[in-house]
Structure 1
Amino acid sequence: MAVLLKRLTLQTSIGRCFRKPIVKPDPAQLSLAASTTKLVHLTFAKGFSTAGDAHSEKRQKRKDAFTNTGRKISERIIRVLDEKGSDLGLMHRADVIRLMDKQDLRLVQRNTSSEPPEYQLMTGAQIHQERLKLREQEKATPKAGPAVTKELMFSSNIGQHDLDTKSKQIQQWIEKKYHVQVTIKKGKNADQPGNEPDEIFNQILQTMPGIATFSSRPKAIKGGTASTCAFRPLSKKEEKAYRDSQEAERRHTLSKDNRNTESEVLCH
């Protein structure tokens, strides 16, 4: 009997040693854990919203591009042009879709600001050509921004060979649509004929007919010890005026030569 009691006592002690204590959680810890869970969910929702905005922007860009509208016409009544540009008048979108299927044409939005909006029926080849035209126009359109100015300085004692080299450099910059600021310092023998800065400036300009002109006229600086001026490319209007004047001069010369030839024939 005594042995049995000892065994029961030993088992009870061992059970107490291995039993896990039940600890009540701290209310402050529970509140912190709940807040952390909410923050995780909020962060995820914000990220998802940003992705949605990016997709929306891409869809807007595709809508604004010159693309085939397809059968998804959002407006009920639209104005339609045929593939030759003739006005077909106002049409219901269902009638437009039937016409597209019948003639195997695509639909392109032409004027979004008009009411109702204006669309045109076009072939795939026409759409391709229009895209090529738009790309060429974008390439031909000059980028807005301030003109880049290059600077060049040399002495009025410069030799003819070196001056020709400087003139070619200026012309290359002008052809790239740069402005060129040139400063000429008077040399030791500046009093000799042929070394006047104004003459050098004009000589440089004469090497670029129909390409450049003065953006600022030659003027003395630094108490008369140097002169400066700026060259710029001709504008489109100035280029056209120059070509027209050259063509008029050529015709005048040709007409004068013809009159001289006729006079010689009559004299003989």
Structure 2
Amino acid sequence: MAALFLKRLTLQTVKFENSCVRCFGKHIVQKTAPAQSFPIASAPRLSFLIHAEAFSTVEDTQNEGKKKKKSQTAFGNIGRKISQRIIHLFDEKGNDMGNMHRADVIRLMDERDLRLVQRNASTEPAEYQLMTGMQILQERQRLREMKKASPKTGPTLTKELTFSSNIGQHDLDTKTKQIQQWIKKERQVRITIKKGKNVDVSENKMEEIFHQILQTMPGMATFLSRPQAVQGGKALMCVLRPLSKNEEKAYGETQKTQKSDTLNQDQGNDKESNILHQ
């Protein structure tokens, strides 16, 4: 009897638990179903943030830094934007005016109608100078000329040209023009002339071709290495180079002297002829 009673009690307990689970599940479905009928709002898009970040790249920052550095190192009028409170000032004649407050410097600029340029930023305080607009222009021209006159670093480029000794005059003129263009671009030119097949040409005749090419560029080029035999005597080779600035200047002075001597000689001959006629 006791065993039968326990069995019935166990069955009733299981049935009760199942019914409770079903009721609880229906209650959850009823509560959650209406909430699902409403549309869910989508998250806001961040397109405006992405658009803003597209303009703040590392490359732009580097470019701005390069531009700023270039503007600081360039020679020119800085206006009233004096970053230091006290500066060391020189006047437009180069006289040392000592340390001055930037307010006094601006006052001098207005009174004398002058510009302010930076001379040396590494000193303490930094050195500045008052200048006229013409002085600034002349100084810029001087700096450009110094830059052009300074020797260029790096290896000199060499161009090569090879042709036969029996070349026609038209083809030689074309190659000469090409050599002239290279010389103007500060290039060295290595020229090799080979003896033509079935043609007996002396070395003197081939050297004349080199000199003929060089004579078309007076005041522009000269021999870096003079004509010499190569390839077992089957060809002649020389190297032309542009004249340096000093050589160009010396050539110009020589031409002026020669013209002056020729003019004086002509005038002397005219005087002698007039005396004879008298």
TM-score in terms of structure 2 length: 0.67
Change (3 A) 1:262 1:90: same
Q: How does 1:98-247 map onto structure 2 within 5 Å?
A: 98-103=107-112, 105-113=114-122, 116-122=125-131, 125=133, 129=137, 133=141, 137=145, 140=148, 144-192=153-201, 196-247=205-256
User: In the TM superposition, what is the alpha-carbon distance from 1:89 to its structure 2 partner?
Assistant: 1.1
C-alpha distance in 1 between matches for 2:61 and 2:213 = 60
Please name the residue that 2:6 is paired with.
none
Change (3 A) 1:162 1:50: closer
- Residue 207 of structure 1 aligns to which amino acid in structure 2? T
Change (3 A) 1:14 1:65: farther
What is the aligned-residue RMSD (CA, Å)?
4.0
8 A Cα contact 1:157 1:189, kept in partner? no
Please name the residue that 2:89 is paired with.
79
8 A Cα contact 1:148 1:179, kept in partner? yes
Please name the residue that 1:37 is paired with.
none
Please name the residue that 2:78 is paired with.
68
8 A Cα contact 2:87 2:128, kept in partner? no
Q: Pick the structure with greater CA Rg.
A: 2
**Greater CA deviation, 138-147 or 248-257?**
138-147
C-alpha distance in 2 between matches for 1:239 and 1:56 = 41
Q: How does 1:42-61 map onto structure 2 within 5 Å?
A: 59-61=68-70
C-alpha distance in 1 between matches for 2:130 and 2:122 = 18
C-alpha distance in 2 between matches for 1:135 and 1:86 = 18
User: In the TM superposition, what is the alpha-carbon distance from 1:226 to its structure 2 partner?
Assistant: 0.8
Change (3 A) 1:258 1:130: closer
8 A Cα contact 2:90 2:129, kept in partner? yes
Kindly tell me the number of residue pairs found equivalent between the two proteins.
235
1:32-64: CA deviation from partner (whole Å, max 9, x where unpaired): xxxxxxxxxxxxxxx999998876665444433
Change (3 A) 1:10 1:132: farther
C-alpha distance in 1 between matches for 2:135 and 2:24 = 86
Identity over aligned pairs, percent: 46
Change (3 A) 1:238 1:57: closer
C-alpha distance in 1 between matches for 2:212 and 2:60 = 62
Which stretches in structure 1 are left out of the alignment for 5+ residues? 1-5, 20-46
C-alpha distance in 1 between matches for 2:60 and 2:262 = 71
Please name the residue that 1:90 is paired with.
98
**Greater CA deviation, 55-64 or 169-178?**
55-64
Change (3 A) 1:158 1:134: same
User: In the TM superposition, what is the alpha-carbon distance from 1:166 to its structure 2 partner?
Assistant: 2.1
8 A Cα contact 1:157 1:195, kept in partner? no
**Greater CA deviation, 255-264 or 10-19?**
10-19
SS in 1 for 2:222: strand
